Amino acid sequence: MAQQQNLLGGRYLLKDKVGAGGMASVYRAVDQVLDRTVAVKIMLPQYASDATFAARFKQEAQAAAGLSSPYIVGVYDWGKDGDTYYIVMEYLRGTDLKSGIRSHGALDPKKVAQIGSQICGALSVAHKHEIIHRDIKPQNIMVLPDGNIKVMDFGIARAKNSHLTQDNNVLGTAHYVSPEQTRGQELGPTSDIYSLGVVMYECATGKVPFDGDDAISVALKQVNELPVPPSQVNPNVDGDLERIILRCMEKDPANRFQTADELRRVLNSYLAGRTVDVPEPTRVIGAAGAGATTTRVMSDSTQAMARPVNTTSRPVGGAAAVNTQARQFDTSSYNTKPEGSGKGKIVAAVVAVVAVVAIAIFAVSGLFAPAEQVIIPAVVGMEQEVAEATIRQNGFEVGDVTPGASDEYPEGTVIEQHPTADGVQTAAKGSEIDIVVSSGPEEAATTKVPDLSQAENEEDARNMLIAAGLEAGSVTQEGSDTVEEGKIISQSPDANEEVEEGSKVDFVISLGPDTTPVPDLTGMTESQARNALTDAGFGMSRDEAYSDTVDEGYVVSWNPSGSQESGTEITVVISLGPEESEPETPTTPNTPDSPETPSTGEGSSDIDLTGMTKAEAERAIGAAGLTASFSYADGTQVGVDPDHVISWTVSGSTVSVVVAW
């Protein structure tokens, strides 16, 4: 396509298309300024001229760019080129989690918990920026070559303070959406936690908990049915992990883990082998989020919506009408007659069809007429009693009142409200406003630092830290004579020290014994040899010996050689020169009239050239008043170094010498 040749923003050269989503296509590209490969998301042409979609696309870039986490895909840049918008992101090599599950099936429980913990790390950062992802699913989780993950695609994420018009479309994928998302209600962090629970369920079992022929039937199961316990699908799933997953998937958001940090702490405890204090899941179905209090215990085979005590609902746009309509019928009351009663069956069937059709129509098109809308009052920062009075005075009801830790607001003060009052926002008159009341500053959770000296290698040490809810800090290397290569020499903070969760731990990895090559001392004087050894970190001891080949004061040999540990003492032998001997009776050189006295170099009484170089042999022959004649041969066969004498013969006044080449 022509667009592939574009140089977006005068900087990003598009290469090839690597993916596509509902609003945009993704290309691999080269950043020509920084010379690096990046991923560029480009809004589809049909949406580029739509102001609402353009605003959402721009908001995605701004929101995602503010998120910094090792578990979130980095956003580098964004802009507009001509009529289209684009976002520049980190280019990842790996595979999405969905493909991994399809290839390998159910994962090991510990791996499931590790993946869940890392996703929690990403969600924690997003939620602290008041951003709800809204589309947590395996397709949006990238598994990197090192086994870690990154959360992708904030394409339908929405910040809580967004002023974009809210519609009733059910966003996200039906297999992973929370019940409140299916109903079109206000979403919070617990909605992402529900979706994460579904992801962990699929990782642990290889199957999604709810499936159907179409998105609507699956979404209805999210609301009306309980999941089959993971251990019944995969017996390898232990009870602790099962309770964690099922608590994430509670129908009532209040019964789930309330923050990503809370869930992460529990998963890290599970990874570390500590006791996991998670209650058994609720095996009931109720009118979650609708103000109803009566629930009905469900069997594992048949699960339907329970009968509420009243029809009071919490409307959110058209959602109020749907939920009220569905809850006005109690399907269980129509099945009390004997099996032969056709009337009861007919009524129950009609009721079920009406309820399903009502919800389906809402989910697809949001056709129900909203109630009277009034402006939402802002109560954040008020004392609880004043806030509740203000809510009622403005035509609303006080919904759920939950405690929450806060460093900013004093105890007893409202720190959050749902729905929010940012800008000029409205909601149905008579609907509920939930508030979160400060319980004071949150006490930081602590954990014990693991003993990294027990780790097999760096990767093992990092996994131990993750399991303890900690992070690796500075990692350095140094030599050690006592710690095996690859093992941990030291750490800071120390093992078993109590620190805040999320703290960083520095550690030092052993390179093994610290060795250095002993320098070559050939041709050095004693002083030069001592300086060379000192500079290399060695000591020196002196020895001496006579030598016919090395001048006095120079190095004859040294031991040990090769690579040695720093500080090793090297014994250096210094030459005393040739050893003096008793004067010999001079011999008369052979003359042409005298018989020849050949020599092979062994025991010659005339001259001894053993161990000499060519030059030394030539000087010795000349000093004896003889004439030298040289030839060359391969010295390796007899173990003689190059340029040294192999053998010689004396014939008259001529000494024929064979020298190694």
Token pair 């002196």 is at which residue?
542
The percentage of the chain sitting over the pLDDT mark of 90, rounded to a whole number, equals 35
**pLDDT at residue 240 tops 90:** yes
Q: What is the dihedral of CA 516, 517, 521, 527, to 10 degrees?
A: -10
pLDDT reading at 318 higher than 90 = no
More confident of the two residues 188 and 156: 188
Residues 6+ apart with CB under 8 A from 602: none
Model confidence at 287, pLDDT cuts 50, 70, 90, reads very low
Cα(27)–Cα(8) distance, rounded to whole angstroms?
A: 11
User: Tokens 């006005």 appear where?
Assistant: 328
- Residue 598 exposed, middle or buried by CB count within 10 Å (0-12, 13-18, 19+): exposed
Half-sphere exposure of 579 (CA within 13 A, CB side): 6
What percentage of the chain reaches a pLDDT higher than 70? 78
pLDDT tens per residue, range 597-628? 344 444 344 688 988 999 898 888 888 888 88
- Give the CA angle between residues 560, 640, 619 to the nearest 5°: 105
Distance CA 576, CA 555 (A): 10
Place domain 95-282 in its CATH homologous superfamily.
Transferase(Phosphotransferase) domain 1 (1.10.510.10)
Where is 647: in which H helix or E strand? strand 645-651
What's the mean per-residue pLDDT of the chain? 78
Q: How far apart are CA 455 and CA 449, in angstroms?
A: 13
659 vs 244: CA distance, rounded Å = 85
Phi and psi at residue 51, in whole multiples of 5°?
A: -60, -35
Rounded CA-CA distance 475/467 in Å is 18
Find the mean pLDDT for residues 455-481: 90
Helix (H/G/I), strand (E/B), else coil: 36 = strand
Q: At what angle do helices 319-327 and 342-365 cross, to 10 degrees?
A: 170
DSSP state of 525: B
Per-residue model confidence (pLDDT) at position 384: 92
Three-state DSSP state, 74? coil
Residue 613 contacts residue 630 (beta carbons within 8 Å): no
397-427 b/e (C-beta count within 10 Å ≥ 16 → b): ebbeeeebebeebeeebbbbbbbbbeeeeeb
Q: Which of 37-46, 97-106, 284-293, 504-513 has the lowest mean pLDDT?
A: 284-293
pLDDT reading at 416 higher than 80: yes
Overall fold of domain 515-575: Trypsin Inhibitor V; Chain A (3.30.10)
Residue 357, pLDDT > 80, answer no
Q: What is the pLDDT of residue 83?
A: 80
Reading the block at residue 558, the tokens are 């040294």
- List pLDDT tens digits, range 178-198: 999 888 888 999 999 999 999
pLDDT for 354 equals: 39
Cα radius of gyration rounded to whole Å, the chain: 42
Rounded to an integer, the average pLDDT of 362-374 is: 50
Q: Judge whether residue 306 has pLDDT over 60.
A: no
What angle, rounded to 10 degrees, do the helices at 189-205 and 109-128 form? 160
Question: Do the Cβ atoms of 130 and 52 come closer than 8 Å?
Answer: no
CATH 3.30.10 holds for 586-661: yes
What's the one-letter identity of residue 550? V
Q: Give the pLDDT score at 408.
A: 80
User: With 70 as the cut, is the pLDDT of residue 586 above it?
Assistant: no
User: What is the average pLDDT across 209-231?
Assistant: 91
Q: What is the per-residue pLDDT for 345?
A: 41
Under a CB-based contact definition with an 8 Å cutoff, are residues 424 and 454 in contact?
no
- The CATH code for residues 446-510 is 3.30.10.20
Matching residue, tokens 């007429």: 369
| Cβ-Cβ contacts under 8 Å for 126 (sequence gap 6 or more) | 67, 72, 132, 133, 154, 157, 192
Residue 436 has pLDDT above 80, yes or no: yes
Sheet holding 645-651, edge to edge: 627-633, 654-660, 645-651
Residue 226's alpha-carbon distances to 29, 219, 247, 298, 355, in angstroms, are: 45, 13, 12, 8, 18
Separation CA 583–CA 32 (nearest Å) = 85
Interval 64-106: pLDDT, tens: 777 888 889 888 888 888 888 888 999 888 888 998 899 889 9
Q: Which of 30-39, 155-164, 199-208, 479-488 has the lowest mean pLDDT?
A: 155-164
Q: What is the pLDDT of residue 225?
A: 92
pLDDT at 259 (0 to 100)? 95
Q: Which two tokens stand for residue 44?
A: 């589809």
Lowest mean pLDDT among 72-76, 216-220, 439-443, 648-652: 439-443
The pLDDT value recorded for residue 353 is 40
What is the architecture, at CATH level 2, of domain 373-438?
A: 2-Layer Sandwich (3.30)
Task: Name 506's bridge partners.
Answer: 492
Catalytic-labelled residue, pool 31, 77, 96, 135 = 135
Please tell me the least confidently modeled range out of 75-79, 184-188, 211-215, 339-343.
339-343
Compute φ and ψ for 95, nearest 5 degrees. Answer: -140, 150
Domain range annotation of the chain: 1-91, 95-282, 292-371, 373-438, 446-510, 515-575, 586-661
**Domain 1-91: which CATH number of 3.40.50.300, 3.10.400.10, 3.30.70.260, 3.30.200.20:** 3.30.200.20
All residues at 6 or more sequence positions from 43 whose CB lies less than 8 Å from its CB, including other chains? 23, 24, 53, 54, 57, 84, 85, 86
pLDDT, position 564: 85
- Please report the pLDDT score of residue 358 as a whole number: 43
Residue 639's Cα: distance from chain center in Å?
A: 60
Look up 548 and say whether it is catalytic: no
Strands of the 432-438 sheet, one edge to the other: 397-404, 432-438, 414-418
Dmax over Cα atoms in the chain, in whole Å? 149
User: Across 340-354, 422-436, 558-572, which has the greatest mean pLDDT?
Assistant: 558-572
Q: Report DSSP state, residue 548.
A: S
Question: pTM of this prediction?
Answer: 0.46
Is 251 annotated in a binding site? The answer is: no
Give yes or no on whether 373-438 and 446-510 have one common fold: yes
